[in-house]
Amino acid sequence: MDNIKVGNLICRLRKEHNMTQLQLAEQLHISDKAVSKWERGLGCPDVSLLSELSQIFSVDLEKLLSGDLETNNMVAGNMKNMNFYVCPCCGNLLTSMTDMAISCCGKKLQAMKPQKARENDRLSVEIIENDYFISSEHEMSRAHYIAFVALVTGDSIMLRKQYRL
């Protein structure tokens, strides 16, 4: 952890929230001298204050500790760069346009890797009366199921979560 980078970030975030060192210190129940010390890179916040600091500034705790809030680069609206994440605990489906730190149920999730379907696993898509009907020749069992279906084009996505019995 780089004290100077963390201190500079705390200073920047404090100013973005139109707060003085004293106001921030009062929210954390510490002295304004401690905040001044952090911002000059002469120390870092105590571990017990980090969660509250990230909540006050509405930033990710990891980003606060790294001292860097990198801005998201535009992906030129290309939905084909979308990443999908599925929580192994609750089955939540999450998406992002770039590589990100995504977590659910307290676990850090990894982006799913796209795989080309084998010949006998391919899905057929038909449009019938403005609805998409998806079918497969694959013999389905409890061990084989589809968690979600996503139709991704260059500028849009249609996503349907499937429910397991």
Structure-block tokens of residue 44: 């870092």
Same structural domain, 25 and 88:
no
Q: How far apart are CA 35 and CA 49, in angstroms?
A: 11
Residue type, 32: D
Tell me how far apart the alpha carbons of residues 137 and 122 are, in angstroms, rounded to a whole number. Answer: 8
Do 91 and 150 have their domain in common? yes
Mean predicted confidence (pLDDT) in 130-143: 75
pLDDT at 71: 61
**Domain residue limits at 11:** 3-66
> In CATH, what number is assigned to the domain containing residue 149?
2.60.40.730
Asked whether residue 138 falls in the same domain as residue 116, the answer is yes
Q: How many CB atoms lie within 10 A of CB 159?
A: 13
Co-location of 36 and 106 in the same domain: no
Confirm whether 151 is domain-assigned. yes
Contacts of residue 2, defined as CB under 8 A and 6 or more positions apart, other chains included, come to: 67
Is residue 73 situated within a structural domain?
no
Same domain assignment for residues 84 and 155: yes
Q: Lowest mean pLDDT of 10-14, 17-21, 93-97, 120-124, name the range.
A: 120-124
Q: Flag whether 31 is in a domain.
A: yes
Q: What pTM, to 2 d.p., does this model score?
A: 0.49
Co-location of 90 and 137 in the same domain: yes
Number of structural domains (the chain) is 2
Tell me: pLDDT of 112 over 60. yes
